[in-house]
Amino acid sequence: MSSSELFDRIAHEIYQQGYCVIRQALPEKLGMALAREVRTLPDDRFSRAGIGRQADYQNVEAIRRDEICWIDNSTPAGQEWLLWTDGLKQALNRRLFLGLFSFESHYAHYREGDFYKVHLDAFRGQQNRVLTVVTYLNPDWTDNDGGELLIYPEKSGVPLLTVQPEFGTLVVFLSEEFPHEVLPARADRYSIAGWYRINTSDRNRVDPEL
Ligand code: OGA
Ligand code: MN
C-alpha cells in the first residue's frame, strides 16, 4: 500500500466511523528503526507515565503502569517518525479539513503485568487532543502475550474492537469519542501513542507548536 493509499484509507474510515485499525500499515523500514530504537534507549530515558488530572502516585498506579519516553528529533528513528506523522497530518488536513496543528508522541513500554485502564485521551470541549495515533513495535507478538487494546463505543459497554499489538499495526481514532484500555501484558510490549492537536490559540494565549 502506498502512503497516499494508506492516508486515503485512514481519512475515509475516520470520516465514516471515527476510527480505523490497519495491519502492516507502518512502513517496514520505519517500523524496524523504531522497534530497534525503543529497545536500545537507556532505561533512564523512560519514566512512569502520568494521567491527565493531577493525581497522587498510588492513584496513577491503579490506572496505568507503563513507562514512557517522549519522541523528538534528537534520534534518527524519532526524526523519521515525526516526518511520517507530519505527512499523515497534512494528508488528513487536506482530505478532512481537520485543522490538525501540532503533534506529540511517546514510546511506551509495558512490562509483564502492566496495563492502562479504560480512559479517554481528551475531554470534550477542551479542544486539545483531537486525533489519537497508536502503533506497535512487537515483531513476535502472540495471542498468549495479552496486552490487547480494547476500543469501546462512546457510551462504553461491549468493545467495538480488540487489537493485538502486532508490529506495524496502526490505530487512529477521534480522541474525544472512544474510551479504550490496554489489557495486562504478559510480555514486554512496545508501542507509540501520539496525538494531533488543533491550534487553541486565542487573543490571550499563544499555543506553542510542540
Ligand atoms: C495511551 C494508550 C494504547 C496502546 O497511551 O493513551 O491508550 O495500545 N495507548 O498502547
Ligand atoms: Mn489512550
Q: What would the pLDDT profile of 137-159 be if each residue is shown by its tens digit?
A: 999 999 999 999 999 998 878 99
- Residue closest by Cα to atom 5 of ligand 1: 193
The identity of residue 64, as a single letter, is R
Residue-level pLDDT at 207: 58
Query: For atom 9 of ligand 1, which residue has the closest CA?
Result: 193
- Counting every residue, how long is the chain? 210
What is the spatial distance between Cα 57 and Cα 37, in angstroms, rounded to a whole number? 28
Residue 202 pLDDT grade (very low, low, confident, very high; cuts 50, 70, 90): low
Q: Is 66 in the pocket of ligand 1 (CB under 6 A)?
A: no
Instruction: Please state, as a whole number, how many other Cβ atoms lie within 10 Å of the Cβ of residue 207.
Output: 15
Q: Is residue 20's pLDDT more than 80?
A: yes
Cα(93) to ligand 1 centroid in Å equals: 23
Given a cut of 50, whether residue 16 has pLDDT beyond it is yes
Domain range summary for the chain, segments of one domain joined by + = 3-197
Cα–Cα distance between 83 and 202 in angstroms, integer?
28
CA–CA gap between residue 181 and residue 159 (Å, rounded): 10
- Assess contact for 110 and 183: CB atoms under 8 A: no
pLDDT tens column, 43-72: 999 998 877 655 566 678 888 999 999 999
User: Which atom of ligand 1 lies at the shortest distance from residue 191's CA?
Assistant: 10
State which CATH number among 3.30.70.580, 2.60.120.620, 3.30.460.80, 2.60.40.1180 fits the domain covering 3-197.
2.60.120.620
Any idea which ligand is nearest the CA of 182?
Answer: 1
On whether the CB atoms of residues 146 and 112 are closer than 8 A, the answer is no
**The CA-based dihedral angle spanning residues 198, 201, 206, 210, taken in that order and rounded to the nearest 10 degrees:** 0
Distance 119 CA to ligand 2 centre (A): 6
Q: Could you tell me the pLDDT band of residue 122, with boundaries at 50, 70 and 90?
A: confident
